[in-house]
Structure 1
Amino acid sequence: MTRNHPSRPSRRTVLGGAALAALTVAAGTGPAEATAPGATWPSRFPLPDGWLPEGITIGRRPYAYMGSRADGAVYRTDLRTGEGRVVHEGAAGLAAIGLKLDHDGLLYVAGGGGGTARIIDSRTGGLLRTHQLTDTTGHFVNDVALVGDRAWFTDSYGPVLYGVPRGRRGGVRALPLTGDWEHTPDVINANGIVSTPDGRGLIVVRMTAGELYRVSLRTGRATRVRLVGADDVVHGDGLVRVGRTLYVVQNRLNLVSVWDLDARAGTATLRRTITDPRFDVPATAARFGDRLYLVNARFTSPQTPETTFTAVAVDR
């Protein structure tokens, strides 16, 4: 059984004290665009052409990490300057969809159709571990949230969450979704995922249906969150929670809806929406200070090696 409030594993526990070879590869994309009025940091910066971004994560330091759907590489951008480089080199057949950075500098990366969860050292770019969560047919490991002693991954084509241990001990836990959850074949179901305000459960967005669910970490029972102020969160992709405020990136609508959660995350009340002309099908978001940083996945544009991609910042 997963504990609700365990202490976080240390970096030494996860790495096991082994020396890791650095795999950092330079890949600059040029300077960022001019800063927004009144801002000191760029509000828009480029990614490499053909990067095919979807996930973004930011830790305590001003660096954004963004994965590539093209080959599973990870790109790091300095939020102060907008300049970046590849910190983990990809390979054919890999993908990096959702990703989260923990407090020890470890990246937990969802592998999409490969059915994997990879753990990468953000400081060296080294691949520490690969967990094969499911087979590669009829599954898509999409996003991840860090809660207690596990990283929890969604499967967009299967009614299950996967709990990967954040230390060296323990195995992967499969948590079937029950209760109110209704799985629809052949469409994207579970997508973005975050912890509940009390840290005892998870909030998962069911993308095509436009629904939010609170999931018990103990039983897997999913309870549909009652929405007030809007009928749905259709095209809901990445989730960000700050206290009892939930941000839902609704990708093809080019907006972020902002919701107030009650104490048990049973009800979400729409506060406002965030739109911006720079949005081009944003997939996921991450918070740093008073800003949200979003990657433009450009799903409605050609996905070629020459396609340009950017990330943008908006005020929360």
Structure 2
Amino acid sequence: MPGTARLVRLGASVLLVGLAAVPAPAVARQLPDTYVVSRSPGVLPEGIAIGRDGTMYVSSDGTGALYRGNVRDPRLRPFRAEGVEGRPSTLGVHTDPRGRIFSVGGAELTVHDRAGRLLASRAAQDGPLGAPDLNDLVITKDAVYVTDWANPVVHRAEIHGGTLGPLLPWLDIRSAFPQFPAQYWLLNGIVADEEGTTLLVASNGTEAVWRVDVATRETGHLDLGGASFGADGMLLRGRTLYAVLNYGAPSGVYIAELDEGLRAGSVTHRITGEPFDLPTTLARHGCRLYVVNSQNDEPPGKPPYTVSAIQDPVCERSENSRTYP
């Protein structure tokens, strides 16, 4: 049972202690605007993560596969990750500072090293509405928090001394809004502040983002001026919230500036239309945003399946975001 599963230590022999520095080319060069995840039918990309060295991982909702590339190269290739061969769908994917790859699909959370070796696998328990459908995750210094599309539940796996604990139900988010029908919560993106003390959880069903105090589990509505904000994937940098919307508002990237307590804010940028094709989530590297084009509105979509790169309009760096130094 997940609740009584023995803790499994992530072996030190396969953990990365740091990312190797990448030598800079002598001359700056253009970075691609479009990345091809795959040309195989039915891939339907969903999640994305980019490490400090520019390594990019993209997940497949259609096949469960993971793909890997680099921001300098317009083509991704299959990432051979142990233990996910039978997983029909992989959604959220993120990396930690050690370069480990965390991903979720169905009821399973997995952790791999950069060679694709399986370091840990955790199964979520059934929720109040039945079997879990894990959607996205965020990694803090002491835990992994995972949203559940099929249940109004945030799951949590503790990280302690290199050990990943069992994945357990941590918060039934209906406690903040009990009058809303549970089957329509549709929990999606999740982010945390730098200290890991505050979570922001997106809900398609309520067309809102919810703020959760980790210590008390107190949950409240993030006030963004009353606009529909049922985000899919999200990214938080300081007090800047980046979100991909594809429901309840025109599809695209929305950027909001939040107050110090992450309780309220206002949308400052809306980037919609081209080049997006039902975007689901995004990552940031340098002064660029990398947005997944899922094509999930008309499955199985039409190859090639892509990621679009756009300039971050709030980036403080002065250099051209399309060049790599």
The verdict on a shared fold, with TM-score over 0.5 as the criterion, is yes
Output aligned runs, 1:277-296, within 5 Å. 277-296=274-293
Q: 1:315 to 1:128 in 2, by over 3 A?
A: same
Please point out which of 122, 144, 148 is paired with 1:131.
122
Output aligned runs, 1:237-252, within 5 Å. 237-252=232-247
Indicate the percent of aligned positions where both proteins have the same amino acid: 28
Decide whether the 8 Å contact of 1:197 with 1:244 is kept in 2.
no
- Cα shift readout 1:153-186 (whole Å, capped 9, x = no counterpart): 0012222211123432544342123542445333
Decide whether the 8 Å contact of 2:103 with 2:109 is kept in 1.
yes
What SS does the corresponding residue of 1:17 show, helix, strand or coil? helix
> How far did 1:148 drift?
1.7
Please point out which of 246, 256, 268 is paired with 2:253.
256
Corresponding residue for 1:156?
A: 149
User: Quick check: 1:106 aligned with 2:100?
Assistant: yes
> How far did 1:39 drift?
7.2
Decide whether the 8 Å contact of 2:32 with 2:73 is kept in 1.
yes
> How far did 1:95 drift?
2.0
The one-letter code matched in structure 1 to 2:10 is: V
RMSD of aligned alpha carbons:
2.3
Output aligned runs, 1:77-116, within 5 Å. 77-89=69-81, 90-111=84-105, 114-116=106-108
CA distance in 2, matches of 1:207, 1:289: 29
Unaligned residue ranges in structure 2 (runs of 5+): 1-8, 16-27, 313-325
Corresponding residue for 2:306?
A: 310
> How far did 1:307 drift?
4.0
- Cα shift readout 1:240-296 (whole Å, capped 9, x = no counterpart): 111111011002532111101101111021112112411000001000011110111
Corresponding residue for 1:53?
A: 45
What SS does the corresponding residue of 2:10 show, helix, strand or coil? helix
- Cα shift readout 1:179-231 (whole Å, capped 9, x = no counterpart): 42445333352110000365311000111221111112123221111112x52
CA distance in 2, matches of 1:99, 1:54: 9
The one-letter code matched in structure 2 to 1:278 is: P
Q: 1:139 to 1:172 in 2, by over 3 A?
A: closer
CA distance in 2, matches of 1:299, 1:18: 35
Decide whether the 8 Å contact of 1:100 with 1:145 is kept in 2.
yes
User: Quick check: 1:186 aligned with 2:183?
Assistant: yes
Aligned residues: 280
> How far did 1:314 drift?
0.9
Instruction: Report which stretch shifted further, 253-262 or 131-140.
Output: 131-140
| TM-score between the two structures when normalised by the length of structure 2 | 0.79
Instruction: Report which stretch shifted further, 127-136 or 186-195.
Output: 127-136
The one-letter code matched in structure 2 to 1:126 is: R
What SS does the corresponding residue of 2:234 show, helix, strand or coil? strand
> How far did 1:41 drift?
0.3
CA distance in 2, matches of 1:192, 1:171: 21
Corresponding residue for 1:6?
A: none
User: Quick check: 1:43 aligned with 2:50?
Assistant: no
What SS does the corresponding residue of 1:227 show, helix, strand or coil? coil
Corresponding residue for 1:175?
A: 170
Unaligned residue ranges in structure 1 (runs of 5+): 1-12, 20-37
